[in-house]
C-alpha cells in the first residue's frame, strides 16, 4: 500500500480514523434515537414509543471535551425472516457495528435484561469492538433492578442515564472518551468559573457543564420559600411562568451565583393532613414531589421557631428516598435569641431523624433580611459536588480490604461470608455494588457498617448512598473494566 493510500484509507484499529465513529445499538424501543438526539443536539431522529420507528442509519456529530465524534443511530436489533424489512434493518445495524470504533449498547433499565438483550449482547461482544453498556430510563426507582441485571450481559459496568431527561450524559461521554483512548483537550479557562473549577471533580457533568444547576426549595406553608427565592434573585417578585413538566404551582427562575447559573424551583407549601400516612399519600402526586424528582439539590426550608415538624421530616425523607442531594436551610434566624443553642438542638434533631444522611448541611438564613445566602449557596454546590463524586475502583477495593480487616463479615451456616470486589456503577447519588457469596445472608448491621465506613473514607457527608450486594465473584477479572 502506498503512503498516500495509507493516509486516506481508515485502518482497522479503532483509534485510526480522524473522527471516531460511535454506533448506538440495542433492541427496539430502548431509547436509542432519544440518546442520539441528546448527543448530537438535534431532533434528526424521530422518537416514539412505537418499536421499530427508526429504519435507516442516521449520522450526526457530537462535541465533547474538544473532541468531535460521529454518532450513528441504528434500527433496533430484532429477529427477522430473511429479506424482510426487519431483516434489512438488522443488517444495516450489523454493518454500523462493523464500521464503528465504539459501540454504545443500550438497554431499558425499566424492562430489565430481556432474552433479546442477551442475544444481541453476544453479537456485540463477537464484533470485538469496544463496548460501553448504557442503562437507559434509569431515572425511576423501579429501574434499579434492571440496572443491576445489566451486569450479567458481560459487557462491563453499565452507565445509568436518562436520555429523555438528559441525566448521566456527561458520565457516559467520559466513558466513551476513555474507551476510545482520548483525553480531554484543554480549553481556555473561564475566569468567571473559579468556584466550579475548584468544587468539581474532573470527571463529573453537573458542575462542569453550562446548564443550570436545578435546585428545588421545598417546605411547609409560610416557611418563607418565595421570600428566599426573591432574596436570591435580588427581585421583589419572580418574573417567571410555569416550568414545563411541573404543575402550575411550581415556578422556576434562573440566576447567577459566582459565575454559575442556578435554576430555582419554588413550590407550593405542603399542608399537614390529619395523619402522616395521609400526608405521604398526598405527597406522591403533589407539586413538591415533582419538583424534588426534577431537582438535583433539594433545599428544605424550615422555620427556626418551629423546626423539623412531621411535615418537614416527611419531605426530608422523600428527598433522600429519591436519592437527591440535600441541604436544610433554617429561616427566620434573626428572630432567635440563643442562636448557638438553637443550632445545636436542630443539628441533633437532624442527626436523629434523618440518620440515613449523616452530615447534612444545616444553614441558618434570614430570607427577609437577606443574610446567610452565600453560605447557603456554598452548601448547595458542595452537596451537588458530593452527590456527583466518583471513587476509582482501585481506591474502593483498597478501602474494602481495610474495612474487612477491621471488622470481618459474619459467618453464615458456619462459613464466613466473603466479599470479593466492589465498584461504583453510577453517581447522583453515589451508588456502589459489592460482589460476594451469600449476599442474601448478609446482616443489615454489617451493610450499615460498610456504608458508614465508605462514607467516612471518601468524604460523602449529607447525601444518600446506595450500597448493594450481588452474588458472584469479581465479574471483571476477565473482561473490560472501566478505568
Contacts of 18 (CB under 8 A, 6+ apart): none
Over residues 363-370, mean pLDDT: 94
Indicate the helix (H) or strand (E) that contains 160. strand 159-160
Give the largest CA-CA distance in the chain. 85
Q: Is 80 exceeded by the pLDDT of residue 347? A: yes
Q: Residue 33, exposed/middle/buried by CB under 10 A (0-12, 13-18, 19+)?
A: buried
Topology (CATH) of 393-471: GMP Synthetase; Chain A, domain 3 (3.30.300)
Residue-wise pLDDT tens digits, 134-169: 999 987 767 777 888 888 888 888 888 988 888 888
- Select the more confidently predicted residue: 103 or 182: 103
Q: Among positive and negative, which fits the CA dihedral 171, 164, 381, 65?
A: positive
Identify the architecture of domain 209-387 in CATH.
Answer: 3-Layer(aba) Sandwich (3.40)
pLDDT of 412 > 80? The answer is: no
pLDDT value for 65: 75
Return the residue matching grid coordinates 440518620. 355
pLDDT over threshold 50, residue 452: yes
Percent of the chain having pLDDT more than 70? 72
Per-residue confidence at 77, pLDDT binned at 50, 70, 90? low
291: number of Cβ within 10 Å: 25
Higher pLDDT, 416 or 345: 345
For residue 25, is pLDDT > 60? yes
Decide: helix, strand or coil at residue 249.
coil
pLDDT value of position 248 = 34
Please, how many CA atoms are within 13 Å of residue 259, restricted to the half-sphere of its CB? 14
User: CA 163 to CA 33: how far, in whole Å?
Assistant: 9
440's CB contacts (< 8 A; 6+ apart) are: 471
Least confident of 206-215, 316-325, 456-465: 206-215
* φ, ψ (nearest 5 deg) of residue 303: -85, 125
pTM: 0.57
* Same fold flag, 14-180 and 393-471: no
> Domain residue spans in the chain?
14-180, 209-387, 393-471
pLDDT single digits (tens) 382-406: 999 999 999 998 999 999 999 999 9
Would you state the pLDDT for residue 294? Answer: 74
Q: C-alpha cell of 113?
A: 435484561
Say if domain 14-180 classifies as CATH 3.40.50.300. yes
To which residue does cell 466513558 refer?
Answer: 175
pLDDT at 203 over 60: no
Sheet with 361-364: strands ordered across: 251-257, 260-266, 213-218, 297-303, 325-331, 361-364
- Residue 238's pLDDT is 38
Count CA within 13 A, CB hemisphere, residue 154.
Answer: 12
The candidate with the shortest Cα–Cα distance to 348, out of 305, 307, 301, is 307
Amino acid at each position: 500500500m502506498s503512503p498516500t493510500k495509507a493516509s486516506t484509507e481508515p485502518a482497522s484499529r479503532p483509534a485510526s480514523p480522524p473522527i471516531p465513529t460511535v454506533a448506538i445499538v440495542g433492541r427496539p424501543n430502548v431509547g436509542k434515537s432519544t440518546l442520539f438526539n441528546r448527543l448530537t443536539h438535534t431532533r434528526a431522529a424521530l422518537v416514539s414509543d412505537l418499536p421499530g420507528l427508526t429504519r435507516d442509519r442516521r449520522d450526526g456529530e457530537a462535541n465533547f471535551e474538544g473532541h468531535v465524534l460521529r454518532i450513528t443511530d441504528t434500527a433496533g436489533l430484532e429477529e427477522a425472516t430473511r429479506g424482510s424489512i426487519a431483516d434489512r434493518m438488522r443488517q444495516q445495524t450489523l454493518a454500523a457495528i462493523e464500521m464503528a470504533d465504539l459501540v454504545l449498547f443500550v438497554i431499558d433499565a425499566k424492562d430489565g435484561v430481556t432474552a433479546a438483550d442477551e442475544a444481541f449482547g453476544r453479537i456485540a461482544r463477537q464484533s470485538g469492538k469496544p463496548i460501553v453498556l448504557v442503562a437507559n430510563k434509569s431515572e425511576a426507582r423501579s429501574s434499579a433492578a434492571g440496572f443491576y441485571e445489566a451486569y450479567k450481559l458481560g459487557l462491563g459496568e453499565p452507565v445509568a442515564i436518562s436520555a429523555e431527561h438528559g441525566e448521566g450524559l456527561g458520565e457516559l461521554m467520559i466513558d466513551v472518551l476513555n474507551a476510545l483512548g482520548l483525553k480531554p483537550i484543554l480549553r481556555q479557562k473561564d475566569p468567571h468559573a473559579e468556584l466550579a473549577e475548584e468544587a468539581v471533580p474532573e470527571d463529573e457533568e453537573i458542575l462542569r457543564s453550562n446548564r443550570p444547576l436545578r435546585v428545588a426549595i421545598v417546605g411547609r406553608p409560610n416557611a418563607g420559600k418565595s421570600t428566599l427565592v426573591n432574596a436570591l434573585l435580588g427581585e421583589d417578585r419572580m418574573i417567571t411562568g410555569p416550568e414545563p413538566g411541573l404543575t402550575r404551582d411550581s415556578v422556576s427562575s434562573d440566576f447567577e451565583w459566582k459565575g454559575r447559573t442556578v435554576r430555582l424551583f419554588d413550590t407550593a407549601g405542603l399542608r399537614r393532613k390529619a395523619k402522616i400516612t395521609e400526608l405521604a399519600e398526598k405527597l406522591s402526586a403533589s407539586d413538591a414531589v415533582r419538583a424534588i424528582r426534577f431537582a438535583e439539590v433539594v433545599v428544605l426550608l424550615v422555620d427556626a421557631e418551629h423546626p423539623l415538624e412531621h411535615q418537614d421530616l416527611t419531605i426530608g425523607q422523600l428527598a433522600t428516598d429519591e436519592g437527591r442531594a440535600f441541604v436544610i436551610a433554617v429561616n427566620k434566624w434573626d428572630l432567635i435569641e440563643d442562636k448557638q443553642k438553637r443550632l445545636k438542638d436542630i443539628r441533633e434533631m437532624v442527626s436523629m431523624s434523618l440518620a440515613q444522611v449523616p452530615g447534612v448541611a444545616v444553614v441558618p438564613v434570614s430570607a427577609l433580611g437577606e443574610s446567610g445566602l452565600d453560605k447557603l449557596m456554598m452548601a448547595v454546590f458542595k452537596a451537588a459536588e458530593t452527590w456527583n463524586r466518583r471513587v476509582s475502583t482501585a481506591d474502593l477495593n483498597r478501602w474494602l480490604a481495610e474495612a474487612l480487616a477491621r471488622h470481618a463479615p459474619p459467618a453464615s451456616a458456619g462459613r464466613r461470608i466473603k466479599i470479593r470486589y466492589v465498584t461504583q456503577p453510577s453517581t447522583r447519588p453515589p451508588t456502589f455494588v459489592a460482589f460476594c457469596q451469600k449476599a442474601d445472608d448478609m446482616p443489615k448491621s454489617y451493610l450499615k457498617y460498610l456504608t458508614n465506613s465508605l462514607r467516612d473514607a471518601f468524604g460523602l457527608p449529607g447525601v444518600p448512598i446506595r450500597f448493594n450486594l450481588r452474588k458472584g465473584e469479581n465479574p471483571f477479572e476477565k473482561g473490560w473494566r472501566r478505568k
